[in-house]
Chains A and B, each alone.
Chain A
């Protein structure tokens, strides 16, 4: 993983998100605190978003605005396989989750449903709650507008880029199944 710490530049480049505010958490944020099991008797994204992060930060769901960021340390999303967790985060308006590392099921769920995530320990450690970030997903560049720093996160491998480009795993599978059906005919 390469890291470049230089003064922020070109924050307005295409492909970058709008600036958003950071909600910062520690390590091992598990899916039980992201969306507690007591709310899993529904899969309605809007209802899940109301309880997003509730057991880690009860103020999150009301404070978060469209385009904000969650930044956390190691092993974000550990615990259960519930896709309700990335779904609740995505629906709450979070533009991207940045963490030192992700638990693997959370990682694949986020890619499968199209929630942008970036793995970048340097950015995760340096970023503070309330900082304003801007993220260029095409290049994996993270700009900290307050600390005037930029970081490069590891880019997605090609296969995952294909998944994301198709619009997630469902679209990807739909395309694949259609091609298969056509080949049979």
Chain B
């Protein structure tokens, strides 16, 4: 029977030659992930199972990223619980402050997820790793507890929607605009219980980082997972993060999809999701002029080095509006250091932005940038639900790093093209662009 890419990975991990939609299976997991909010609950549940050890101390990752550096005493207690459990169980992949990053940027960076692997995480954005051709999905703390003990998890095999990408993105358009456009098209439950399987010639035009951004937001369409085929870019990326062997799975040519959607990257414009659902999207021309009090650039969605390069390209030599608070939070320590070395942090600080240590902080209204009643923020994060970033009468507009940086400068939503013409993507997304502007300045 023909299977989708997701179904093949699930079948392999369940020890079955085939699976079909709706089937309930128990599958082996390659990595179990938890954070400082979800893991304490999981640890308490784990104790009730009555085993003295985790199934494999190398296949569990604990990342205190949500309320860290500890925002208050209760957060400190939760992190302490994580730290003690990690020590007791000799968990290898516990990442203390200083090494810690936002989990969904950190896990791929540390080489803990590779193509064909099966990852569950007690965090809904665990679906991010589909970018690397893995099956990864968010679960609850109880699932995490059971998997830490048994090394397995139960799944209902999903059907899939195929998203065919064509053409090439132009101007300031990025992977973020693509995924916002897609969610606007199908709705927040448009892919409920399904896989979003990406394919087509347009995939090659997306950098790995953009694929991570897109897979990250699969959950915002209700999807169980989002997954990209493994191509040359994936292989090159894999070689930079890990030496482990991996298996590449491909969807059968005659696999059944519930729906086929084609998106031409060439047709896309910078896109913004208005409050209070990620599906409430408008193009930047329709969004023009909406005032913002805060611009947040970072998170597991858009806190990677390319995102910071794009924001820096716009902020360089410009000033953040006196009416806007601009907060930049690189997703991991490595990205932070790289941004420092590339001169991006200097650009942000000179522009009048604050740069934060890696944390989830403002993204979930935790700390480091909470909104007051009536305030609004443009954010490169992934959710704009009621009260997500602060007061229930505050609002969040989701956008790309380019749009957020442009709004930081002008004080309102606007097309970044109005500030500067986009450099060719191949230059903009690499370190060379900012380096080049520096040379030009000193000549």
Contact = CB atoms under 8 A, between A and B. Distances in A.
Interface of A: 28, 30, 32-33, 36-38, 40-43, 55-56, 74-75, 78-84, 86-87, 101, 103-105, 108-109, 112-113, 157, 159-160, 163, 168-170, 172-174, 176-178
Interface string B118-161: 00011110100000000000111111011001100010000000
B365 interface: yes
B192 A173 contact: no
A88 B44 CA distance: 16
B44 to A, nearest CB: 7
27 contacts: A32-B383, A37-B365, A40-B37, A41-B71, A55-B392, A56-B386, A74-B189, A78-B188, A79-B124, A79-B383, A81-B123, A81-B124, A82-B140, A83-B122, A83-B140, A101-B192, A103-B189, A104-B193, A105-B124, A112-B142, A169-B145, A169-B154, A170-B45, A170-B49, A170-B145, A173-B146, A178-B50
Nearest to A113: B142
Contacts of A113: 140, 142
Contacts of B78: 41, 43
Contacts of A159: 24, 154
A55 B123 contact: no
Nearest to B122: A81
Contacts of A75: 188-189, 192, 222
Interface string B86-127: 000000000000000000000000000000000001111010
A101 B188 CA distance: 12
A83 B142 contact: yes
A168 B49 CA distance: 11
B409 interface: no
Interface of B: 24, 37-38, 40-41, 44-45, 48-51, 66-67, 71-72, 74-75, 78, 121-124, 126, 138-143, 145-146, 149-150, 154, 188-189, 192-193, 219, 222, 224, 277, 364-366, 383, 385-388, 392
Given A43-B41, A81-B122, A176-B150, A33 B139 contact: no
A38 to B, nearest CB: 6
Contact of B141 (A32, A79, A83): A83
Contacts of A79: 124, 383, 385
Which of B74, B121, B124, B142 has the most chain A CB atoms inside 10 A of its CB? B142
Contacts of A87: 41
Nearest to A112: B142
B38 A32 contact: no
A80 B141 contact: no
Nearest to A32: B385
Given A32-B387, A33-B385, A37-B366, 15 more contacts: A32-B364, A32-B388, A36-B365, A37-B364, A41-B71, A41-B74, A75-B188, A78-B222, A79-B124, A82-B38, A101-B192, A105-B139, A105-B219, A113-B142, A159-B154
A152 B145 CA distance: 33
A177 B55 CA distance: 11
B357 to A, nearest CB: 19
Central interface residue in A159, A160, A173, by most chain B CB within 10 Å = A173
Contacts of A177: 49-51, 149-150
Contacts of A170: 45, 48-49, 142, 145-146
A169 B40 CA distance: 17
Contact of A41 (B72, B150, B387): B72
Nearest to B279: A28
Nearest to B81: A43
A169 B146 contact: yes
Contacts of B40: 43
A168 B139 contact: no
Contacts of B149: 173, 177
B222 A104 contact: yes
Nearest to B46: A170
Contacts of A81: 38, 121-124, 126, 138-140
B384 to A, nearest CB: 10
A103 to B, nearest CB: 6
9 cross-chain pairs, A with B, having the tightest CB-CB distances, nearest first? A109-B140, A41-B74, A112-B142, A75-B189, A83-B140, A81-B124, A173-B146, A159-B24, A81-B138
Nearest to B146: A173
Contacts of B121: 81
B142 A103 contact: no
A108 B24 CA distance: 12
B130 to A, nearest CB: 15
A168 B123 contact: no
Contacts of A74: 189
Contact of A36 (B193, B224, B387): B387
Contacts of B140: 81-83, 86, 105, 108-109, 112-113
Contacts of A104: 192-193, 222, 224
A174 B123 contact: no
A141 to B, nearest CB: 23
Nearest to A74: B189
Contact of B38 (A83, A101, A157): A83
Given A41-B74, A104-B193, A109 B142 contact: yes
Contacts of A108: 139-140, 143
Contacts of B192: 75, 101, 103-104
Nearest to B155: A108
A174 B48 contact: yes
A59 to B, nearest CB: 14
B387 A80 contact: no
Most buried by A among B67, B140, B189, B383: B140
